[in-house]
Structure 1
Amino acid sequence: MRIPLLIAASLLATACDSPGSDANMAASGVGEAQNDADSALTEEAPTSLAFVQAAAMSNLYEIAAANIALDKAEAGSVRDFAQMMVTDHSKALETLEDAVGSSGQTLALPINLDADHQAKVDILQSLQGAAFDREYLSQQMTAHREALTLLKAYGGEGEIAELRQFAQGAIPTVQKHHDWLEKNTPQPGTAMAGGQAKPTP
Protein backbone atom coordinates (compact mmCIF):
# COMPACT_ATOMS: atom_id res chain seq x y z
CA MET A 1 0.00 0.00 0.00
CA ARG A 2 1.33 3.43 -0.91
CA ILE A 3 1.29 6.51 1.30
CA PRO A 4 -0.63 9.47 -0.20
CA LEU A 5 1.17 12.61 -1.27
CA LEU A 6 -0.44 14.66 1.51
CA ILE A 7 0.96 12.33 4.17
CA ALA A 8 4.39 12.45 2.57
CA ALA A 9 4.26 16.26 2.56
CA SER A 10 3.33 16.22 6.24
CA LEU A 11 6.21 13.86 6.96
CA LEU A 12 8.60 16.23 5.22
CA ALA A 13 7.39 19.19 7.28
CA THR A 14 7.65 17.35 10.58
CA ALA A 15 10.98 15.79 9.70
CA CYS A 16 12.40 19.25 9.01
CA ASP A 17 11.04 20.65 12.28
CA SER A 18 11.80 17.83 14.72
CA PRO A 19 15.22 17.20 16.32
CA GLY A 20 16.50 13.66 16.60
CA SER A 21 19.57 11.48 16.55
CA ASP A 22 18.33 9.14 13.83
CA ALA A 23 20.87 8.79 11.04
CA ASN A 24 18.35 10.01 8.49
CA MET A 25 18.22 13.36 10.32
CA ALA A 26 21.89 13.83 11.02
CA ALA A 27 23.31 14.84 7.67
CA SER A 28 21.84 17.35 5.27
CA GLY A 29 18.53 18.26 6.93
CA VAL A 30 16.08 19.12 4.18
CA GLY A 31 17.77 16.87 1.64
CA GLU A 32 17.60 13.87 3.96
CA ALA A 33 14.02 14.66 4.92
CA GLN A 34 13.10 14.84 1.23
CA ASN A 35 14.66 11.43 0.72
CA ASP A 36 12.49 10.05 3.52
CA ALA A 37 9.38 11.60 1.99
CA ASP A 38 10.24 10.22 -1.45
CA SER A 39 10.86 6.83 0.10
CA ALA A 40 7.45 6.88 1.76
CA LEU A 41 5.89 7.26 -1.69
CA THR A 42 7.75 4.36 -3.29
CA GLU A 43 8.07 1.73 -0.56
CA GLU A 44 5.41 -0.63 0.77
CA ALA A 45 5.73 0.93 4.23
CA PRO A 46 7.22 4.23 5.47
CA THR A 47 10.43 4.26 7.45
CA SER A 48 9.99 3.93 11.19
CA LEU A 49 10.96 7.56 11.75
CA ALA A 50 8.48 8.74 9.13
CA PHE A 51 5.79 6.53 10.61
CA VAL A 52 6.11 7.67 14.22
CA GLN A 53 6.28 11.33 13.18
CA ALA A 54 3.20 11.05 10.98
CA ALA A 55 1.27 9.04 13.57
CA ALA A 56 2.15 11.46 16.36
CA MET A 57 1.23 14.46 14.20
CA SER A 58 -2.10 12.86 13.33
CA ASN A 59 -2.90 12.39 17.01
CA LEU A 60 -1.81 15.91 17.94
CA TYR A 61 -4.03 17.34 15.21
CA GLU A 62 -7.02 15.19 16.18
CA ILE A 63 -6.78 16.35 19.79
CA ALA A 64 -6.37 20.03 18.85
CA ALA A 65 -9.27 19.97 16.38
CA ALA A 66 -11.51 18.08 18.79
CA ASN A 67 -10.89 20.55 21.60
CA ILE A 68 -12.09 23.33 19.31
CA ALA A 69 -15.12 21.26 18.35
CA LEU A 70 -16.05 20.74 22.00
CA ASP A 71 -16.33 24.52 22.27
CA LYS A 72 -17.80 25.41 18.87
CA ALA A 73 -19.76 22.49 17.44
CA GLU A 74 -23.47 23.13 16.98
CA ALA A 75 -24.70 19.53 16.76
CA GLY A 76 -24.63 17.42 19.89
CA SER A 77 -23.44 14.38 17.96
CA VAL A 78 -20.44 16.34 16.67
CA ARG A 79 -19.51 17.31 20.21
CA ASP A 80 -19.87 13.67 21.26
CA PHE A 81 -17.60 12.63 18.40
CA ALA A 82 -15.07 15.30 19.39
CA GLN A 83 -14.99 13.99 22.96
CA MET A 84 -14.31 10.51 21.61
CA MET A 85 -11.45 11.97 19.53
CA VAL A 86 -9.85 13.58 22.60
CA THR A 87 -10.12 10.35 24.59
CA ASP A 88 -9.04 7.90 21.89
CA HIS A 89 -6.25 9.96 20.33
CA SER A 90 -4.77 10.99 23.69
CA LYS A 91 -4.57 7.29 24.53
CA ALA A 92 -3.13 6.51 21.08
CA LEU A 93 -0.43 9.16 21.51
CA GLU A 94 0.57 7.69 24.88
CA THR A 95 0.58 4.18 23.42
CA LEU A 96 2.77 5.32 20.54
CA GLU A 97 5.25 6.92 22.94
CA ASP A 98 5.34 3.67 24.94
CA ALA A 99 5.90 1.65 21.75
CA VAL A 100 8.81 3.86 20.73
CA GLY A 101 10.33 3.48 24.20
CA SER A 102 9.87 -0.28 24.18
CA SER A 103 11.50 -0.55 20.77
CA GLY A 104 14.80 0.79 22.08
CA GLN A 105 14.99 3.18 19.13
CA THR A 106 15.72 6.91 19.31
CA LEU A 107 12.92 8.36 17.18
CA ALA A 108 11.92 11.98 17.64
CA LEU A 109 8.18 12.66 17.92
CA PRO A 110 6.77 16.11 17.16
CA ILE A 111 5.25 18.02 20.07
CA ASN A 112 3.68 20.87 18.05
CA LEU A 113 1.54 20.99 14.93
CA ASP A 114 3.29 21.50 11.62
CA ALA A 115 2.23 24.30 9.25
CA ASP A 116 -0.23 22.15 7.30
CA HIS A 117 -2.14 20.94 10.34
CA GLN A 118 -2.01 24.34 12.02
CA ALA A 119 -3.64 25.83 8.91
CA LYS A 120 -6.50 23.34 9.26
CA VAL A 121 -6.92 24.25 12.92
CA ASP A 122 -6.91 27.95 12.00
CA ILE A 123 -9.76 27.35 9.55
CA LEU A 124 -11.78 25.69 12.30
CA GLN A 125 -11.10 28.61 14.63
CA SER A 126 -12.56 31.00 12.06
CA LEU A 127 -15.93 29.23 11.70
CA GLN A 128 -19.11 29.04 13.74
CA GLY A 129 -22.28 26.97 13.93
CA ALA A 130 -23.26 24.64 11.12
CA ALA A 131 -20.39 25.88 8.94
CA PHE A 132 -17.98 24.76 11.63
CA ASP A 133 -19.63 21.33 11.90
CA ARG A 134 -19.39 20.74 8.15
CA GLU A 135 -15.74 21.78 7.97
CA TYR A 136 -14.76 19.80 11.05
CA LEU A 137 -16.39 16.60 9.78
CA SER A 138 -14.90 17.09 6.31
CA GLN A 139 -11.41 17.52 7.76
CA GLN A 140 -11.93 14.49 9.97
CA MET A 141 -12.94 12.27 7.05
CA THR A 142 -9.77 13.18 5.16
CA ALA A 143 -7.59 12.76 8.25
CA HIS A 144 -8.99 9.34 9.11
CA ARG A 145 -8.62 8.05 5.55
CA GLU A 146 -4.97 9.09 5.62
CA ALA A 147 -4.46 7.63 9.09
CA LEU A 148 -5.89 4.27 8.02
CA THR A 149 -3.61 4.19 5.00
CA LEU A 150 -0.58 4.95 7.17
CA LEU A 151 -1.45 2.42 9.88
CA LYS A 152 -2.22 -0.38 7.44
CA ALA A 153 0.99 0.25 5.50
CA TYR A 154 3.23 0.10 8.57
CA GLY A 155 1.13 -2.51 10.34
CA GLY A 156 1.61 -4.82 7.39
CA GLU A 157 5.30 -4.37 6.64
CA GLY A 158 6.85 -2.05 9.22
CA GLU A 159 10.41 -2.83 10.22
CA ILE A 160 10.13 -2.52 14.03
CA ALA A 161 7.92 -5.07 15.78
CA GLU A 162 6.75 -2.81 18.62
CA LEU A 163 5.68 -0.09 16.20
CA ARG A 164 4.09 -2.62 13.88
CA GLN A 165 2.03 -3.92 16.81
CA PHE A 166 1.02 -0.36 17.70
CA ALA A 167 -0.17 0.24 14.15
CA GLN A 168 -2.13 -3.00 14.07
CA GLY A 169 -3.73 -2.23 17.42
CA ALA A 170 -4.72 1.29 16.38
CA ILE A 171 -6.49 0.27 13.17
CA PRO A 172 -9.82 -0.89 14.74
CA THR A 173 -10.27 2.38 16.65
CA VAL A 174 -9.47 4.56 13.66
CA GLN A 175 -11.74 2.40 11.49
CA LYS A 176 -14.55 2.95 14.02
CA HIS A 177 -14.04 6.71 13.75
CA HIS A 178 -13.97 6.50 9.96
CA ASP A 179 -17.19 4.49 9.86
CA TRP A 180 -18.96 7.02 12.09
CA LEU A 181 -17.82 9.81 9.81
CA GLU A 182 -19.04 8.02 6.69
CA LYS A 183 -22.46 7.72 8.27
CA ASN A 184 -22.69 11.23 9.71
CA THR A 185 -20.76 13.57 7.39
CA PRO A 186 -23.24 15.52 5.25
CA GLN A 187 -22.82 15.35 1.50
CA PRO A 188 -22.73 18.52 -0.66
CA GLY A 189 -26.20 20.01 -0.75
CA THR A 190 -27.12 18.80 2.73
CA ALA A 191 -27.08 20.45 6.12
CA MET A 192 -26.61 19.22 9.67
CA ALA A 193 -29.81 18.88 11.70
CA GLY A 194 -29.86 17.37 15.15
CA GLY A 195 -26.47 15.82 14.51
CA GLN A 196 -27.56 14.02 11.35
CA ALA A 197 -27.18 14.95 7.71
CA LYS A 198 -30.44 16.42 6.40
CA PRO A 199 -31.09 17.47 2.79
CA THR A 200 -31.38 21.20 2.34
CA PRO A 201 -34.71 22.50 0.97
Structure 2
Amino acid sequence: MPRALSSVPPLTRNQVSKNNTSPNMKNTSITRFSTSTLAFCAALIFASNGMSADKDTLDAADVKFVKQEAAAGMAVVKLAGLGAQKAVRADVKAFAEMLVTDHTKANEELTKLAATKGVELSAVIEPKHAETFQKLEKTESADFDKTFLAEMSSGHKKCVGNFEDAAKDAKDSDLKMWAEKMLPTLKTHLEQAKELASK
Protein backbone atom coordinates (compact mmCIF):
# COMPACT_ATOMS: atom_id res chain seq x y z
CA MET A 1 0.00 0.00 0.00
CA PRO A 2 2.70 2.60 0.79
CA ARG A 3 4.34 1.87 -2.52
CA ALA A 4 1.06 2.54 -4.39
CA LEU A 5 0.73 5.91 -2.75
CA SER A 6 4.28 6.88 -3.61
CA SER A 7 3.65 6.13 -7.29
CA VAL A 8 1.34 9.15 -7.62
CA PRO A 9 3.43 11.93 -9.22
CA PRO A 10 3.55 15.22 -7.33
CA LEU A 11 1.67 18.21 -8.74
CA THR A 12 3.82 20.65 -10.65
CA ARG A 13 3.91 24.38 -9.83
CA ASN A 14 1.90 25.20 -13.00
CA GLN A 15 -0.76 22.62 -12.17
CA VAL A 16 -1.16 24.01 -8.68
CA SER A 17 -1.47 27.50 -10.11
CA LYS A 18 -4.14 26.43 -12.61
CA ASN A 19 -6.16 24.55 -10.04
CA ASN A 20 -6.01 27.39 -7.54
CA THR A 21 -7.25 30.13 -9.91
CA SER A 22 -9.29 32.48 -7.74
CA PRO A 23 -12.95 33.37 -8.49
CA ASN A 24 -11.91 37.03 -8.76
CA MET A 25 -9.52 36.26 -11.59
CA LYS A 26 -12.24 34.32 -13.41
CA ASN A 27 -14.71 37.18 -12.94
CA THR A 28 -12.15 39.65 -14.32
CA SER A 29 -11.72 37.56 -17.45
CA ILE A 30 -15.49 37.31 -17.89
CA THR A 31 -15.88 41.07 -17.40
CA ARG A 32 -13.21 41.82 -19.98
CA PHE A 33 -14.86 39.45 -22.44
CA SER A 34 -18.31 40.95 -21.85
CA THR A 35 -17.04 44.53 -22.30
CA SER A 36 -15.26 43.65 -25.53
CA THR A 37 -18.33 41.82 -26.81
CA LEU A 38 -20.63 44.77 -26.04
CA ALA A 39 -18.29 47.22 -27.75
CA PHE A 40 -18.14 45.01 -30.83
CA CYS A 41 -21.94 44.65 -30.95
CA ALA A 42 -22.39 48.41 -30.60
CA ALA A 43 -20.02 48.97 -33.49
CA LEU A 44 -22.03 46.54 -35.62
CA ILE A 45 -25.29 48.28 -34.76
CA PHE A 46 -23.94 51.71 -35.71
CA ALA A 47 -22.47 50.33 -38.92
CA SER A 48 -25.69 48.58 -39.93
CA ASN A 49 -27.66 51.80 -39.45
CA GLY A 50 -25.16 53.88 -41.41
CA MET A 51 -24.34 55.99 -38.36
CA SER A 52 -21.23 56.84 -36.43
CA ALA A 53 -20.90 57.02 -32.67
CA ASP A 54 -20.33 60.77 -32.90
CA LYS A 55 -23.59 62.24 -34.25
CA ASP A 56 -22.98 64.75 -37.04
CA THR A 57 -24.71 67.90 -35.79
CA LEU A 58 -24.21 71.63 -36.29
CA ASP A 59 -23.43 74.27 -33.70
CA ALA A 60 -25.84 77.16 -33.08
CA ALA A 61 -24.19 79.58 -35.52
CA ASP A 62 -24.21 77.04 -38.35
CA VAL A 63 -27.85 76.15 -37.69
CA LYS A 64 -28.78 79.84 -37.78
CA PHE A 65 -27.04 80.26 -41.14
CA VAL A 66 -28.75 77.20 -42.63
CA LYS A 67 -32.23 78.28 -41.55
CA GLN A 68 -31.66 81.91 -42.52
CA GLU A 69 -30.39 81.12 -46.01
CA ALA A 70 -32.99 78.42 -46.60
CA ALA A 71 -35.69 81.02 -45.94
CA ALA A 72 -33.92 83.59 -48.12
CA GLY A 73 -33.45 81.09 -50.94
CA MET A 74 -37.10 80.12 -50.88
CA ALA A 75 -38.06 83.80 -51.02
CA VAL A 76 -35.77 84.47 -54.00
CA VAL A 77 -37.41 81.66 -55.98
CA LYS A 78 -40.87 83.01 -55.20
CA LEU A 79 -39.96 86.63 -56.00
CA ALA A 80 -38.01 85.69 -59.12
CA GLY A 81 -40.92 83.57 -60.30
CA LEU A 82 -43.06 86.68 -60.11
CA GLY A 83 -40.34 88.62 -61.90
CA ALA A 84 -40.29 86.11 -64.75
CA GLN A 85 -44.03 86.70 -65.21
CA LYS A 86 -44.28 90.46 -64.75
CA ALA A 87 -40.97 91.98 -65.85
CA VAL A 88 -41.33 94.38 -68.78
CA ARG A 89 -37.74 94.33 -70.01
CA ALA A 90 -36.53 91.14 -71.68
CA ASP A 91 -33.18 91.24 -69.86
CA VAL A 92 -34.88 91.57 -66.48
CA LYS A 93 -37.20 88.67 -67.33
CA ALA A 94 -34.22 86.52 -68.36
CA PHE A 95 -32.42 87.46 -65.13
CA ALA A 96 -35.46 86.45 -63.08
CA GLU A 97 -35.67 83.10 -64.87
CA MET A 98 -31.99 82.46 -64.17
CA LEU A 99 -32.54 83.21 -60.48
CA VAL A 100 -35.36 80.67 -60.33
CA THR A 101 -33.15 77.98 -61.86
CA ASP A 102 -30.04 78.69 -59.78
CA HIS A 103 -31.77 79.17 -56.45
CA THR A 104 -34.07 76.18 -56.90
CA LYS A 105 -30.98 74.01 -57.30
CA ALA A 106 -29.28 75.68 -54.33
CA ASN A 107 -32.38 75.20 -52.18
CA GLU A 108 -32.47 71.50 -53.00
CA GLU A 109 -28.81 71.12 -52.06
CA LEU A 110 -29.26 72.99 -48.79
CA THR A 111 -32.36 70.98 -47.91
CA LYS A 112 -30.45 67.72 -48.36
CA LEU A 113 -27.49 69.05 -46.37
CA ALA A 114 -29.77 70.21 -43.56
CA ALA A 115 -31.41 66.78 -43.41
CA THR A 116 -28.06 65.04 -42.97
CA LYS A 117 -27.27 67.41 -40.08
CA GLY A 118 -30.63 66.98 -38.36
CA VAL A 119 -31.81 70.55 -39.05
CA GLU A 120 -35.53 71.00 -39.75
CA LEU A 121 -36.39 73.74 -42.25
CA SER A 122 -39.65 75.63 -42.45
CA ALA A 123 -41.70 75.30 -45.63
CA VAL A 124 -43.50 78.59 -44.94
CA ILE A 125 -42.20 81.86 -46.37
CA GLU A 126 -41.22 84.37 -43.68
CA PRO A 127 -43.53 87.38 -43.11
CA LYS A 128 -40.95 89.95 -44.28
CA HIS A 129 -40.50 88.10 -47.57
CA ALA A 130 -44.26 87.68 -47.93
CA GLU A 131 -44.65 91.46 -47.58
CA THR A 132 -42.08 92.05 -50.31
CA PHE A 133 -43.93 89.62 -52.58
CA GLN A 134 -47.23 91.40 -51.97
CA LYS A 135 -45.60 94.76 -52.70
CA LEU A 136 -44.17 93.51 -56.00
CA GLU A 137 -47.44 91.84 -56.90
CA LYS A 138 -49.14 95.25 -56.80
CA THR A 139 -46.40 97.00 -58.79
CA GLU A 140 -46.81 97.32 -62.54
CA SER A 141 -44.85 98.12 -65.71
CA ALA A 142 -41.41 99.74 -65.49
CA ASP A 143 -41.90 100.36 -61.77
CA PHE A 144 -41.99 96.61 -61.30
CA ASP A 145 -38.61 96.13 -62.99
CA LYS A 146 -37.06 98.88 -60.90
CA THR A 147 -38.48 97.58 -57.60
CA PHE A 148 -37.67 93.97 -58.41
CA LEU A 149 -34.03 94.74 -59.25
CA ALA A 150 -33.67 96.84 -56.11
CA GLU A 151 -34.93 93.93 -54.00
CA MET A 152 -32.61 91.46 -55.74
CA SER A 153 -29.63 93.79 -55.29
CA SER A 154 -30.19 94.37 -51.58
CA GLY A 155 -31.09 90.74 -50.92
CA HIS A 156 -28.07 89.33 -52.73
CA LYS A 157 -25.73 91.83 -51.10
CA LYS A 158 -26.79 90.58 -47.69
CA CYS A 159 -26.68 86.99 -48.91
CA VAL A 160 -23.12 87.31 -50.24
CA GLY A 161 -21.98 88.71 -46.89
CA ASN A 162 -23.56 85.82 -45.00
CA PHE A 163 -22.02 83.23 -47.31
CA GLU A 164 -18.59 84.83 -47.04
CA ASP A 165 -18.83 84.56 -43.26
CA ALA A 166 -19.93 80.92 -43.46
CA ALA A 167 -17.18 80.05 -45.94
CA LYS A 168 -14.69 81.44 -43.45
CA ASP A 169 -16.15 80.64 -40.04
CA ALA A 170 -18.54 77.67 -40.36
CA LYS A 171 -17.56 74.88 -37.98
CA ASP A 172 -19.05 72.14 -40.14
CA SER A 173 -16.79 71.23 -43.07
CA ASP A 174 -19.66 70.19 -45.36
CA LEU A 175 -21.47 73.47 -44.77
CA LYS A 176 -18.28 75.46 -45.28
CA MET A 177 -17.60 73.72 -48.61
CA TRP A 178 -21.15 74.36 -49.80
CA ALA A 179 -20.94 78.05 -48.89
CA GLU A 180 -17.64 78.35 -50.76
CA LYS A 181 -19.15 76.64 -53.80
CA MET A 182 -22.17 78.97 -53.85
CA LEU A 183 -20.29 82.25 -53.48
CA PRO A 184 -19.29 82.77 -57.15
CA THR A 185 -22.89 82.27 -58.31
CA LEU A 186 -24.28 84.65 -55.69
CA LYS A 187 -21.70 87.30 -56.52
CA THR A 188 -22.62 87.00 -60.20
CA HIS A 189 -26.29 87.47 -59.33
CA LEU A 190 -25.45 90.57 -57.32
CA GLU A 191 -23.37 92.12 -60.09
CA GLN A 192 -26.03 91.39 -62.70
CA ALA A 193 -28.78 92.88 -60.55
CA LYS A 194 -26.74 96.06 -60.05
CA GLU A 195 -25.87 96.28 -63.74
CA LEU A 196 -29.47 95.84 -64.85
CA ALA A 197 -30.65 98.40 -62.30
CA SER A 198 -28.21 100.96 -63.69
CA LYS A 199 -29.72 100.83 -67.20
- TM-score between the two structures when normalised by the length of structure 1: 0.68
For the residue of structure 2 that corresponds to 1:110, the secondary structure is coil
AA of the residue aligned to 2:107 = L
Counterpart pick for 2:84 among 61, 70, 73: 70
Which structure exhibits the higher relative contact order, with contacts defined as CA atoms closer than 8 Å and separated by 6 or more residues?
A: 1
Whichever structure has more helix as a proportion of its residues is: 2
Matches within 5 A, 1:162-201: 162-186=174-198, 197=199
How many angstroms apart in 1 are the aligned matches of 2:159 and 2:107? Answer: 13
AA of the residue aligned to 1:163 = L
Is 1:134 the counterpart of 2:142? The answer is no
How many angstroms apart in 2 are the aligned matches of 1:143 and 1:129? Answer: 22
Deviations 1:18-52 (A, max 9, x none): xxxx999xxxxxxxxxxx7xxxxxxxxxx111111
Displacement after TM superposition at 1:111 (Å): 1.2
Counterpart pick for 1:161 among 159, 164, 173: 173
How many angstroms apart in 2 are the aligned matches of 1:129 and 1:171? Answer: 32
Aligned counterpart, 1:79 = 93
How many angstroms apart in 1 are the aligned matches of 2:58 and 2:156? Answer: 30
C-alpha change, 1:167 and 1:131, in structure 2 (3 Å) is same
Which structure has the larger Rg?
Answer: 2
The answer for unaligned runs of 5 or more in structure 2 is 1-56
Aligned counterpart, 1:93 = 107
C-alpha change, 1:23 and 1:85, in structure 2 (3 Å) is closer
The answer to whether the 8 A contact 1:100-1:107 is kept is: yes
How many angstroms apart in 1 are the aligned matches of 2:58 and 2:70? Answer: 20
How many angstroms apart in 2 are the aligned matches of 1:134 and 1:182? Answer: 11
Aligned counterpart, 1:9 = none
The answer to whether the 8 A contact 1:49-1:108 is kept is: no
AA of the residue aligned to 2:122 = P
Is 1:143 the counterpart of 2:155? The answer is yes
Counterpart pick for 2:134 among 83, 97, 122: 122
Percent identity between the two aligned chains: 22
The answer to whether the 8 A contact 1:141-1:182 is kept is: yes
Deviations 1:122-145 (A, max 9, x none): 110001110000000000000000
